[in-house]
Amino acid sequence: MDDIADTDPSLHKSCKQILEMDPSLVDANVLGLTFVREVEVLGSRTIRELIPGGKDVVVTSQNRDNYIRLLIQDRFINSIRLQLTYFIIGFSSFFERGELWVKFFESLDATDFDRMLGGDGNDAIDVKEWRAYTDYRGYKEKDRQIKWFWEVYMSNSSTHVLMILPLS
């Protein structure tokens, strides 16, 4: 749980308080928690069940560890699964599947991953080179979706943020 302290201090604090709370208060359901997580996407709020039927499962002193584990898993793993999948598909094109692939990913730590995504701060992305070597997988550079991508990237290039989105 301490791994999320820097990423989401508010969630970390809340989870820690739930775990440290007197068991009798948790069992009295003073927090009114169930196995769900409220998610906001593009201004719309939805409820995601952490387990099947989670909206009907009350968090107790007996299951609060599991609730916290599932809450963190949903926030930091499940919510980015699609984006991570597309990243892995693109990144895997550098390696043949097999022992080299496994050894490479086993050797990574958070700092390495951060550098792979954003560089070390000293190197700017060479957009001309990037565009020259981009495989559009059935699309052409003149297609509107591709033009939109480069327009959005160029308008946000000062922040060095790149989102991996499916083109469908």
Same domain, 72 and 111: no
Same domain, 56 and 31: yes
Instruction: Please tell me the distance from the alpha carbon of residue 116 to that of residue 72, in angstroms, as a whole number.
Output: 24
Same domain, 131 and 111: no
SS (H, E, C) 37-55: EEEEECCEEEEEECCCCHH
pLDDT of residue 159: 44
| Segments forming the whole domain that contains residue 134 | 125-168
pLDDT band with cut points at 50, 70 and 90 for residue 17: very high
Same domain, 12 and 55: yes
pLDDT of residue 65: 96
Same domain, 110 and 130: no
Last-in-domain residue among 11, 43, 76: 76
Same domain, 130 and 147: yes
Helix (H, G, I), strand (E, B) or coil at 90: helix
pLDDT in tens, 39-88: 887 778 889 999 999 999 999 999 999 999 999 999 988 888 888 788 77
Same domain, 13 and 51: yes
Same domain, 61 and 99: no
Same domain, 12 and 66: yes
Task: Provide the percentage of residues in the chain whose pLDDT is more than 70.
Answer: 82
Total number of domains in the chain = 3
Same domain, 119 and 132: no
Closest CA to 149 of 160, 159, 164: 164
Same domain, 6 and 71: yes
Instruction: Please tell me the distance from the alpha carbon of residue 159 to that of residue 154, in angstroms, as a whole number.
Output: 10
Residue type, 64: R
Same domain, 7 and 71: yes
pLDDT of residue 136 exceeding 90, the answer is no
Q: H-helix or E-strand containing 160?
A: none
